[in-house]
A and B are shown apart, each in its own frame.
Chain A
Amino acid sequence: MKAFTYERPGSAAEAAAAAVRTPGAKFIAGGTNLLDLMKLQIETPTHLVDVNNIGLDRIEPTDQGGLRIGALVRNTDLAADPRIRRDYGVLSRAIVSGASGQLRNKATTAGNLLQRTRCPYFYDTDMPCNKRAPGSGCAAIGGLNANHAILGASEACIATHPSDMAVAMRALDANVETVAPSGASRSIPIADLHRLPGKTPHVETMLEPGELIAAVTLPKPRGGVQLYRKVRERASYAFATVSVALIAKIEEGRVTVDRLAFGGLAHKPWRVEQAERAVAGSDAAADSIADIVLAGARPAEQNAYKLPLVRRTLSATLEHAREGASR
C-alpha cells in the first residue's frame, strides 16, 4: 500500500470539492472493494475522501411516488427495507444474492454501483490488463474466460460487471443523482452510468472527476411479479454466470414481460428494450426474447455455454413468474 492522506468531509458538496483538490484522490465508503485493490496495489490513491460522514444514508419517498436511496445506505439495509421488499422485490432479491452478509453490511449503494470488475487478470498485477494498465493488452482473451462477457465486449476487454444490485436497478429504470465539485447536481439514467469497454475499458462510468453519487432514485412502483434469478457455481459468495431480473404481469396464466435485464453477460447490466417491446402484451416465450437479446453475442473461447444458459434460465424464470413463485 502506498502512503496516502485522508480526510472526512461533512457534506456531499465538500466531498466532491475535496476529491478534485488533490490529484489522485478517491472516495471511500464501505471500502469493500477499494481496500482490497489498495492492498494489491491495483488502486494507489494519494488521498482518500471518506464519505461516511456526509449523511445521505436514508431511503425517502419522492414527489413522483418513488423512492430516493441515499448513496450511503448499506446494501443490507436497502434489501431489508419494507418499502423495497414490497414494491421493488427484484431489487431486494438481487442484493441478497450478492456477496456475503458481512460484505453487504459494509457495502453502500453508490459503492456497489462503482465496484471494479472481478476479472481474475485484472486482479493479477503480473498480467496484462487494459483496465488496470491501459495499452498492456487483455490477458483474458485467449486465456481463461469461462465467466467473461458475451455481449458488448471489445478487443480491449471482455470483463463483466459484478453487481447484482445494478442489474435490478437497470430493470427498474433507476436514476443516479450526482453532485459535481462545482456543487452542480445532475440526474443520470442508470443505463448511461456504466460504459461499454470499447478502446478505453479503464473508463468504467460517465462520471466526471470528483463527481459524487448522492442518491439513486426509483420511479414509482411498477407492480407485477418481480424475480431475480442468479445462476452460479456455488450457493453463495460467487459471481453470476448469468442472472435475470424480471418484472412481469400475469393475467389468466399469460406472462407478459414488463422489464427484463441480465447480469453476468456484459461490461454493464444488460437490458434490451427492443426485446421487451417485441413481446409486449404477448405470452412471453424465452426464445423470441433471447433471439433478440443474444443477436450480437460474441462468446470467447470458454463461455459459449452462456448462450444456452441464458435461454434456459430465462425460460425457467418466466415459468416461475407464471406459477407466481418467488425466488
Chain B
Amino acid sequence: MIGAGINRIDGPLKVTGRAAYSYERQDAGQPFYGFIRGAAIGKGKIAGIDTAEAEAAPGVRLVLTHRNVPKQGAFVNKPTIFDRPHPQLTSDRIEYFGEPVAFVVADTFERARAAAALVKVTYAREDGAFDLANHADRAEPQATLSIGLPGETRFGDLEAAMSAGPVTIDQTYTTPYHFSQPMEPHACLADWRDDHLTVYLATQTVAQNRIALAETLGLAADQVTVDAAFVGGGFGSKLYLHAEAVLAALAARELAHPVKVALTRRQVFTLTGHRPEMIHRVRLAATSDGQLTGLGHDVNLQAAVAEPWIEQAATVARSLYAAPNRLTRHSITNLDLKAAEAVRGPGELPGLLAFETAMDELANALDVDPVELRLKNDTAIDPELGVPLNGRRLADCLREGAKRFGWGQRPKTPGSRREGDHLVGYGMAVGIRMHFQGATGAVVRIDPDGRVIVRSDTPDIGTGTYTIAGQIAAEALGIGVNRVTVQLAHSDFPPSAGAGGSWGASNLSIAIDLACQKIRNKIVEAAGPGAAPNDILADVGRWFPEGVEATGQTIGQADDPNFKNYSQNTYGAAFAEVAVDIATGEVRLRRMTGVFAAGRIINAKTARSQLMGGMIWGVSSALHEAAHVDPRHGNWVNGDLAEYLMPVHADIPAIETVLLDDYDEHANHLGIKGVGELGVCGTGAAVSNAVFNATGIRVRDFPITLSKLLSGLPPMRTAA
C-alpha cells in the first residue's frame, strides 16, 4: 500500500464540486460579506477617515476603522512564528502599501465592495524606503534565522582560499520578490455564537492559527474552533494568520452574525506574504582540477521592522559540498514594505538559484563538465555539522539524470549550437533541501463495525494528505484503503505542526503508524498470549465491543536523536534544455528531467505531482517570476496574474520526474522524508545554466528576461 500511486480519495469530491472550501462553507447559515479597504500609501498616517457615506450605503452593517475597532491582543514576535497574534486596524499608522484601513461588512459581496470604495481616507504621507538595492548599506547581520539555525557559519579562512585560488568565482546575483499565489485566495467564514468562535479558514496550520486568533481576539484557545477541511493551495502563504481571518472574526463577534471574507487577487499580493528580494554574493575557490577549497554565500534580504522573516537562503551550501574554508552569512535590510513570509522552497529556491549558477560559472572557468564538478565535491559527511548525511544519493541522482537526459550530447562550448532560429543549450544543477520534523499527533479509531477513522489537525492543502494518511493506516492495519475514513484539519483533532516545510506527510505518517501499532498491541494484549491478529477488524469486533482507539505522537526534531546524529536532507538533480530565439532573446524550455531522492515514497502519483509542480516553479524562477515594487510609492506594480508572469501550459513541454524510491532508516522508522518542495530546489539554476550554455551570456539578475539577453546575442542581418 505504501508507495502505490493510488488516486486521491478526495478526488471525486473535488471534481464534482462537493469539497467545500472555506468561502463555500454553508455551515453557519446566510452570512454577511466583508471587504477590506487598503491604504493608498506605503508609509505615513491616516490624516482623516470619513465613513459616513459608506455606513449609509445600501446593505451595510458595519464599518470598522482604527477608531472603532474592538480591543485586540498585541502582536508578539514569538519564535513559534505561526501562532503570533496579528491585530488589525490598530492605529492611524501605515506601515505598508495596502495595509487595511477600513473593513466594510454588508449583506452582499458587491455592496460591501462598493461601500468600501466610499470610505474617504486622507493621508499624511511620509518618505519611505522601498528599494533594496538603494538601501543595501543598511544591511544588518543576523545571528539567528527565523527557523532557528545560525545566521552565520564560518570554517577555515575563505579569504585566504580566495587569494590562493587558483580558480575563483566571486559574483553577485539578485533574486526578486516572489508570491505564492495559490489558486484559492485567502478566505475565512467566521461564526460567533454562545461565546464561541468557529472559523472555516484557508490555513496550513490549524492549531497555530487557533492560538493566533484567540490571542488576537482576547479569547481562550478553547473558545475558538478552526476548520480547514479543504484548502486550495498554500505554498507558505497560509501558514500565518492574516487580515481576512481577524477582521471576519471581529465583525462576526460585533454583529453576532456570520461574516465571510475572501481576498481579491490583488489583495493576495498586498495582504499576504512575499518572498523577500535578495542580493547574493557567492564566492568559490577551487584547485585547477575542480576540488573546492572554499565556498562562501552572503545574502542580504529585505525585511520589515514589525516582523522580521530571515529566510535561510545562504544555508544551501552548508551541507552540499565539501570544502575546508567556508563562510555563510545572512543580513537583513529593513524597508517600508510588508513583512516577508515563507514562499515555496524558502531558502532553497533563491539560494540554489544563485549558488548553483555560481557552480556552473566555476565549471565553465575550469572547463570541466558541470556534472563531474558536483561529483568531485560530493561528501558523505556534513561538512559543517560533522555527522553523516543520511540518504545522501546526490551522486545517484546526478548519474541517473545525466543518463536519462542524454547529458553526453550537451554542447561543450557555450553559444555553439544553432538549430534554425534558435540557440540551444543544456544546463544542470543539483538540489538539496533540509528535512524537518515537527510534533504532530494523530488518533486512529476502529469502530466495532470495522470502520477505521484517522484524525489529525494536519490540513490537506491540495497535496494529497487525505490519501497518504489512508495509505499509511491501511498498511499498518493490513486492510484496504477503502476501509479508512480520514478526517483532517479540525482543531478538535490532535494538533500537528501543520502542512508546510514539506513535513506534513512524514510528521503525520509517523503519528498514524504509531497509533496503529498501539491498536495492534491492544488487540494482542486482549487476545492473550500467542495471539497473532491477521484480521484486525474482526478482532476488534470480538474483543472491543465499544471499538478501540489510540493516539500516536511524532516528536519534534529537537527531541529526536536522528536529528542530532545525522544531517537530514533530501536531494535532487535537474537537467534542462532551452532554446533561445536568436533574434529576440525569448527563452523557451524544451525539456527537463529531474531525479530526486527523498527516502521512501508514500504515493508515487501525488509525489510526482508535487515534484513536477516544483520543477515548473523552478522554471518560473529562472525565466518569469518577479514582483516589482515602485520605489516611489512602495506598491506592487504588477499585482495581478496578467502582469505577474509565471509559466502557462504553452511554456511547459514534457517534464520527466524520476524518484529514486528508497528507505531512509535514519530519518524515521517509516523511512520517509519530505518531498513537497524538493522540486523547486536547483531546478531554476538548471534552466539558468542552460541559457548560458545556449548563448554564452550569463545573466545574474533573475528572472532572465529577453531584454537582459538582447545586447549579447549575435548580430542580425539588418542591412541590405
| B-binding residues in A (CB < 8 A) | 1-3, 40-41, 100, 118, 120-121, 123-124, 126-127, 139, 142-144, 146, 231-238, 241-242, 282-288, 290, 305, 308-309, 311-316, 319
Give the CA-CA distance A242 to B584 in the complex, in Å.
Answer: 9
Question: B651 an interface residue at 8 Å Cβ cutoff?
Answer: yes
Which of A139, A146, A234, A286 contacts B651 (CB under 8 A)? A234
Select from chain B the residue with minimum beta-carbon distance to A146: B707
Report B454-476 residues with CB < 8 Å from chain A CB: none
Q: A234 touching B637 by the CB < 8 A rule?
A: no
Cβ contacts A to B, 8 pairs, < 8 Å:
A1-B113, A3-B58, A127-B635, A144-B630, A234-B651, A286-B719, A312-B710, A316-B583
Question: B720 an interface residue at 8 Å Cβ cutoff?
Answer: yes
* Residues of chain A contacted by B58 (CB below 8 angstroms): 3
Give the CA-CA distance A235 to B650 in the complex, in Å.
Answer: 6
Tell me how far the C-beta of A109 lies from the nearest C-beta in chain B, rounded to whole angstroms: 22
Q: A285 touching B719 by the CB < 8 A rule?
A: yes
Q: Mark B613-637, 1 if CB is under 8 A from A, else 0.
A: 0000000000110001010110101
* Residues of chain A contacted by B584 (CB below 8 angstroms): 231, 242, 309, 312-313, 316
Give the CA-CA distance A120 to B628 in the complex, in Å.
Answer: 11
Give the CA-CA distance A142 to B117 in the complex, in Å.
Answer: 28
Asked whether A241 and B633 contact (CB < 8 A) given A283-B720, A287-B718, A316-B421, the answer is no
Give the CA-CA distance A231 to B585 in the complex, in Å.
Answer: 9
5 tightest A-B CB contacts, nearest first: A285-B720, A316-B583, A235-B650, A126-B40, A305-B707
Q: B648 touching A237 by the CB < 8 A rule?
A: yes
Select from chain B the residue with minimum beta-carbon distance to A288: B720
Give the CA-CA distance A209 to B58 in the complex, in Å.
Answer: 31
* Residues of chain B contacted by A313 (CB below 8 angstroms): 583-584
Which of B98, B110, B648, B716 contacts A312 (CB under 8 A)? B716
Asked whether A124 and B624 contact (CB < 8 A) given A3-B114, A237-B648, A285-B720, the answer is no
Q: A311 touching B716 by the CB < 8 A rule?
A: yes
Q: B719 touching A120 by the CB < 8 A rule?
A: no
**Which secondary structure characterizes the binding site on chain A?**
loop
* Residues of chain A contacted by B113 (CB below 8 angstroms): 1, 41
Which of A1, A120, A142 contacts B637 (CB under 8 A)? A120
Tell me how far the C-beta of B438 lies from the nearest C-beta in chain A, rounded to whole angstroms: 37
Give the CA-CA distance A283 to B719 in the complex, in Å.
Answer: 10
Q: A234 touching B647 by the CB < 8 A rule?
A: yes
| A-binding residues in B (CB < 8 A) | 38, 40, 58, 97-98, 110, 113-114, 117, 266, 421, 581-586, 588, 623-624, 628, 630, 632-633, 635, 637-640, 642-643, 645, 647-651, 705-707, 710-711, 713, 716-720
* Residues of chain A contacted by B633 (CB below 8 angstroms): 127, 139
Give the CA-CA distance A145 to B480 in the complex, in Å.
Answer: 59
Which of A40, A241, A314 contacts B706 (CB under 8 A)? A241
Give the CA-CA distance A288 to B717 in the complex, in Å.
Answer: 12
Give the CA-CA distance A139 to B651 in the complex, in Å.
Answer: 31
Which of A142, A144, A309 contacts B628 (CB under 8 A)? A144
Asked whether A233 and B716 contact (CB < 8 A) given A3-B114, A120-B638, A120-B643, the answer is no
Q: A309 touching B710 by the CB < 8 A rule?
A: yes
Tell me how far the C-beta of A101 lies from the nearest C-beta in chain B, rounded to whole angstroms: 10
Asked whether A236 and B650 contact (CB < 8 A) given A127-B635, A286-B718, the answer is yes
Give the CA-CA distance A126 to B116 in the complex, in Å.
Answer: 14
Known A120-B643, A315-B718; further 20 A-B contacts with Cβ < 8 A:
A40-B266, A41-B113, A41-B114, A124-B635, A126-B40, A127-B633, A144-B628, A144-B638, A231-B706, A233-B623, A234-B624, A234-B650, A235-B648, A237-B642, A286-B718, A286-B719, A305-B707, A308-B710, A309-B707, A316-B583
* Residues of chain B contacted by A237 (CB below 8 angstroms): 642, 648
Select from chain A the residue with minimum beta-carbon distance to B639: A124
Select from chain B the residue with minimum beta-carbon distance to A284: B720
Select from chain A the residue with minimum beta-carbon distance to B715: A312
* Residues of chain B contacted by A312 (CB below 8 angstroms): 583-584, 710, 713, 716, 718
Q: Residue among A1, A235, A311 with the most chain B CB within 10 A?
A: A235
